A and B are shown apart, each in its own frame.
Chain A
Amino acid sequence: MTDIVLWGVLPYVMVAILVGGSVWRYKYDQFGWTTRSSQLYESKLLRIASPVFHFGILAVIAGHFFGLVIPKSWTEAVGMSQDFYHFNALFVGGIAGICTLGGIILLIVRRRTTGPVFMATTKNDKTMYVVLVAAIVFGLWTTLASVFLGGHGHNYRETVSPWFRSLFIFQPDIGSMAAAPFSFHLHTLVGMLLFALWPFTRLVHAFTAPFHYLFRPYIVYRSRDVRTAPGARGRQPGWQPVGTRDRDRR
């Protein structure tokens, strides 16, 4: 029963909150949708810690994608042995995880010790940091545990990953997930909590990662009439074609 709730119901609740919350926030709180950078107050530590953390977590996300989405049979089909895969996952994943953790610890120390930065830290931020750090720590623990404890470690690609994929076809493979060790359960639960909090914290900035910067024209002309009301999101798209050559990407 508990297993059904945890691995059959909670994931969908989490997704509902994540999607619903993000849509709501995007609609109603454009003005609050920002990184709330504190670089103005302090930038020496930030300049090291922030990239380490962010690039670390990007690698971690890529690793999760590999581990969870790509079935074991596929990697074996391209001739990647289980040992080789594991070594990579643990080695690269471990480094990325440690970078992420180190980065965020530095960031939190900075946040706590730099007066203005600490003053600009809201309760919301603090809650988010606790959950984020917990997710990272537990995640790292699952990785390290599989190296140092119990031989080759638990093969999550036979338990967690099938469950994860089964969620998308709405036939949660609860049995597989229930069979995974406790450390994986903990990491997954905290992870779900983090995603449920996501839309309501400053983490939303990740959803507006500005990849379109690579493609947009440098100079943006916009007519006054794009906006409908102050504080509200104007009509999309943000710039209107006026046909000057300047707008072409140079």
Chain B
Amino acid sequence: MKVMAQVGMVMNLDKCIGCHTCSVTCKQAWTNRAGTEYVWFNNVETRPGQGYPRRYEDQERWRGGWELNRRGRLKLKAGGRVKKLLGIFASPVQPELNDYYEPWTYDYETLTEAPLGDDFPVARPKSLITGENTKIEWSANWDDNLGGTSQLGHLDPIVEKIRKESEDKIKFEFEQTFMFYLPRICEHCLNPSCMASCPSGAIYKREEDGIVLVDQDRCRGWRQCVTGCPYKKMYFNHKTGKAEKCTFCYPRIEVGIPTVCSETCVGRLRYLGIFLYDADKVTEAASVPDEKDLYQAQLDLMLDPNDPEVIAAARAEGIPEDWLDAARRSPVYHLAKVYKVALPLHPEYRTMPMVWYVPPLSPVVDLLSDQGHDAEDADNLFGAIEALRVPVEYLAELFTAGDMEIVTGVLRKLAAMRAYMRGISLGNDPEESIPVSVGMNGERMYEMYRLMAIAKYNERYVIPKAHVEQAHNLEEMGCSLDFEDGPGMYASDAFGEASGRPTPVAVENFYALKQRQTTGGHFEPGELRGRVNLLNWDGRGVPRGMFPEQDNPQMSPDSPAHEGGAAGPGPDAGGPSDQAGPSGNPLESRP
């Protein structure tokens, strides 16, 4: 047994209101640069719907993830190593920009610049790729809230599959339809096929926390990972020519704060925590022959952090005590393995995804209450879960490779919790038979309710900090030694300005801040390599580098020459002294 730690996320889909706050904040934090205009590390798609990029779940077309070969071994669906190398000159199945969407902006300038006239000026959409006028035809959430689904709904690969299996089951008629939101980020898989597809070996999984990252220095732009990832969460930055992906906000996680998407989630539906898993068994688990066993295999990989044997093995691997403690308190472990209500997205891709989902009960509840039934009654709910095959079947295709039993079981737990807690809030005696009917007891059900409904910030996010004794290993601080001691720290390398290694912003700020706090007078930051650092600007004077240096010192209000003139008598005497002092007035000192 080789115990490794993995940060994981659980999203409770019932609570997602589809507000896209997570996507927007993520974009602001990570992909608001040229080359990543079309990239959403976090996107929220309405299901049923095509998703982003369009129909990414159709693996017969996109060939992402793994499959088993004839001998029952894992093999990349897009082909083995030799085939991949032969296809390197033009990726055979890489999505084009059109499969995502062509990003655009609006020509807002005409709104203010247009001459007075009879017609209202309009801001025309401009493509961010070509800069030309463009016609907006698709976006990352074009079918939001089932927009256009009556026409395009059949293009959802899951709808297609269910339809094929039983003629025309899903109808996109207003009264019969169901809908929920599915926020997606990179799954930080245990068995990532993006990584396996990378010819350069630039993608790696961090030993300490399992976050999957792309080494931007080693990526050569072969684009095989884009094909390899079945969730299409690997993106090609078309400006830098490198692959980029969700980083699980590692700089935040390292210091113990949640990812941007979790922090800003309006529905507070995201949970973050640690899983301990057995790294030796991953391949075996991912190769179980029956797709429907993959969920169970994945669950079995997750180790019990209270098991003394696991604890001993984890210690032997050097996992620190506070991480073990966090693993014991981990909300994601509880939701996935203790209460067994969180399910992996598309386990059939065999990548062992580490972002889990509590499937939504709302399609069932909505349909019940629309029909005028009591949607909080356990029996009604149980009956509806059995009766409403379509939403359940759809959820099963998403989360359990089509196994209806597992999804039904989870939905029954959610329904039971709903009914049980309603009883309690109405002041009735807790009805023990409800939790028992789903294989739980009242106490555990109450715990689950607490975690799912009213958990506080520090219960939802249990993130142990990266270790202080490892601090010199952290991505940003890693080089602090190289930059220690003031004078040398902003030095440029041999090839002049900005050559060589950049000083990490964190390091720069740290030293600038320290200098500012420990010097008595006005702090002048050192050479900032042609950049302006406003973080440490204290409001006095003009920040260095903001404006071009001026030749005539007299023109600058706070230049040293000016201060020199006023230095003697103090600031209040500054004005007169300029005029009277023999050396204070340059005009007088002229011959």
A and B associate in one complex:
yes
Is the Cβ of A219 less than 8 Å from the Cβ of B196?
yes
Complex Cα–Cα for A245 and B94 (A): 31
**Contacts A40-B236, A222-B204; A250 near B219 (Cβ below 8 A):** no
User: What is the CB-to-nearest-CB distance from B319 to chain A, in angstroms, rounded to a whole number?
Assistant: 13
Spot the interface stretch: B279-287, B425-433, B529-537: B279-287
Contact pick for B504, options A40, A116, A213, A230, CB 8 Å:
A230
User: What is the CB-to-nearest-CB distance from A20 to chain B, in angstroms, rounded to a whole number?
Assistant: 13
Is the Cβ of A222 less than 8 Å from the Cβ of B89?
no
Is the Cβ of A41 less than 8 Å from the Cβ of B129?
yes
Spot the interface stretch: B18-26, B237-245, B356-364: B237-245
Asked if A51 lies at the interface with its beta carbon under 8 angstroms from chain B, I say yes
Asked if A124 lies at the interface with its beta carbon under 8 angstroms from chain B, I say no
Is the Cβ of B476 less than 8 Å from the Cβ of A230?
yes
Contacts of B378 in A (CB 8 A): none
Asked if A154 lies at the interface with its beta carbon under 8 angstroms from chain B, I say no
Is the Cβ of B478 less than 8 Å from the Cβ of A37?
no
Asked if A151 lies at the interface with its beta carbon under 8 angstroms from chain B, I say no
Contacts of B239 in A (CB 8 A): 120
User: What is the CB-to-nearest-CB distance from B463 to chain A, in angstroms, rounded to a whole number?
Assistant: 15
Which residues of B from 350 to 404 have beta carbons under 8 Å from A?
none
Is the Cβ of A43 less than 8 Å from the Cβ of B94?
yes
Which residues of A from 188 to 217 have beta carbons under 8 Å from B?
205, 208, 210-214, 216
Is the Cβ of B222 less than 8 Å from the Cβ of A35?
yes
- Of chain B, the residue at the smallest CB distance from A103 is B89
Asked if A34 lies at the interface with its beta carbon under 8 angstroms from chain B, I say yes
Complex Cα–Cα for A230 and B236 (A): 20
Is the Cβ of B220 less than 8 Å from the Cβ of A35?
yes
Complex Cα–Cα for A223 and B473 (A): 9
**Contacts A220-B204, A238-B215; A210 near B91 (Cβ below 8 A):** no
Q: What is the count of residue pairs linking A and B with beta-carbon distances less than 8 angstroms?
A: 187
Asked if A82 lies at the interface with its beta carbon under 8 angstroms from chain B, I say no
**Contacts A216-B201, A228-B482, A245-B283; A43 near B220 (Cβ below 8 A):** no
Is the Cβ of A218 less than 8 Å from the Cβ of B473?
no
Interface residues contributed by chain A, number (CB under 8 Å): 59
Contacts of B563 in A (CB 8 A): none
Asked if A130 lies at the interface with its beta carbon under 8 angstroms from chain B, I say no
- Of chain A, the residue at the smallest CB distance from B132 is A115
Is the Cβ of A30 less than 8 Å from the Cβ of B218?
yes
**Contacts A115-B130, A115-B132, A119-B130; A233 near B475 (Cβ below 8 A):** no
**Contacts A222-B207, A224-B208, A225-B470; A37 near B241 (Cβ below 8 A):** yes
- Of chain A, the residue at the smallest CB distance from B472 is A225
Asked if B266 lies at the interface with its beta carbon under 8 angstroms from chain A, I say no
Asked if A231 lies at the interface with its beta carbon under 8 angstroms from chain B, I say yes
Complex Cα–Cα for A208 and B132 (A): 36
Asked if B111 lies at the interface with its beta carbon under 8 angstroms from chain A, I say no
**Contacts A115-B130, A115-B132, A214-B85; A28 near B500 (Cβ below 8 A):** yes
Is the Cβ of A120 less than 8 Å from the Cβ of B238?
yes
Contacts of A222 in B (CB 8 A): 204-207
Please report whether the interface of chain B is mostly helix, strand, loop or mixed according to DSSP.
Answer: loop
**Contacts A34-B241, A222-B204; A234 near B217 (Cβ below 8 A):** yes
Complex Cα–Cα for A54 and B223 (A): 16
Complex Cα–Cα for A55 and B282 (A): 38
Which residues of B from 502 to 550 have beta carbons under 8 Å from A?
502, 504
Complex Cα–Cα for A58 and B204 (A): 30
Asked if A74 lies at the interface with its beta carbon under 8 angstroms from chain B, I say no
User: What is the CB-to-nearest-CB distance from B213 to chain A, in angstroms, rounded to a whole number?
Assistant: 8
Q: Return the CB mask of A76-99 against B: 1 if under 8 Å, else 0.
A: 000000000000000000000000
Complex Cα–Cα for A53 and B130 (A): 27
Contacts of A37 in B (CB 8 A): 221-223, 236, 241
Contacts of B82 in A (CB 8 A): 214
Contacts of A42 in B (CB 8 A): 96
The 29 sampled A-B contact pairs (Cβ below 8 Å) are A28-B493, A28-B495, A31-B240, A34-B219, A34-B220, A34-B241, A37-B221, A37-B236, A40-B236, A42-B96, A43-B94, A43-B96, A46-B90, A54-B89, A120-B239, A210-B201, A220-B201, A221-B205, A221-B206, A221-B207, A222-B207, A224-B208, A224-B474, A229-B482, A231-B217, A232-B501, A244-B279, A246-B191, A246-B282
Q: 3 closest Cβ contacts across the A-B interface? A: A210-B199, A225-B473, A229-B479
Interface residues of B (CB under 8 A from A): 2, 73-74, 81-82, 84-85, 88-92, 94, 96-97, 129-132, 191-192, 195-196, 198-208, 215-223, 236, 238-242, 279-280, 282-283, 466, 470, 472-476, 478-479, 482, 493, 495, 499-502, 504
17 extra interchain contacts, Cβ-Cβ under 8 A, other than A119-B129, A213-B201, A219-B191?
A: A28-B500, A31-B216, A31-B242, A34-B220, A37-B221, A37-B223, A51-B90, A120-B239, A212-B201, A222-B207, A225-B473, A227-B215, A229-B479, A230-B475, A231-B217, A239-B201, A250-B74
